[in-house]
Amino acid sequence: MRIIKGPGYAPTWKGKPAGMSIAERALWARWKEHNINEDETIYHNVRLCAPHAQEIELDEQCRDIWTKIGSRRIDALIESPIGIKIIEVRINADEAAVGRLLLYKQLWMDCATEPEEPDLVLITNQMGTPEVALAFERGIFVDVI
Dump pLDDT digits (tens) for 6-22. 899 999 998 999 889 99
User: Which pLDDT score, from 0 to 100, does residue 50 have?
Assistant: 62
Residue 34 placed within a domain: yes
Q: For residues 103 and 56, what is the distance between their CA atoms, to the nearest angstrom?
A: 24
Nearest to 145 by CA among 95, 98, 89, 96: 89
Distances (CA, A) of 61 to 27, 68, 145: 34, 11, 40
Neighbours of 3 (CB within 10 A): 17
Q: Contact at 8 Å (CB) between 31 and 127?
A: no
What is the count of structural domains for the chain?
A: 1
Residue 51 placed within a domain: no
User: Which pLDDT score, from 0 to 100, does residue 1 have?
Assistant: 58
Q: For residues 87 and 118, what is the distance between their CA atoms, to the nearest angstrom?
A: 10
User: Which pLDDT score, from 0 to 100, does residue 103 have?
Assistant: 93
CATH number at residue 35: 3.40.1350
For the entire predicted model, the pTM comes to 0.88
Residue 140 placed within a domain: yes
Residues of the chain with pLDDT under 70: 1, 50-56
The pLDDT tens digits for 123-133 are: 999 999 999 99
φ and ψ at 17, to 5 degrees?
-60, 130
Q: Contact at 8 Å (CB) between 49 and 1?
A: yes
Residue 81 placed within a domain: yes
Residue 52 placed within a domain: no
Q: For residues 106 and 82, what is the distance between their CA atoms, to the nearest angstrom?
A: 20
Q: For residues 78 and 36, what is the distance between their CA atoms, to the nearest angstrom?
A: 9
Residue 63 placed within a domain: no
Domain span including residue 81? 7-44+74-144
Helix (H, G, I), strand (E, B) or coil at 89: strand
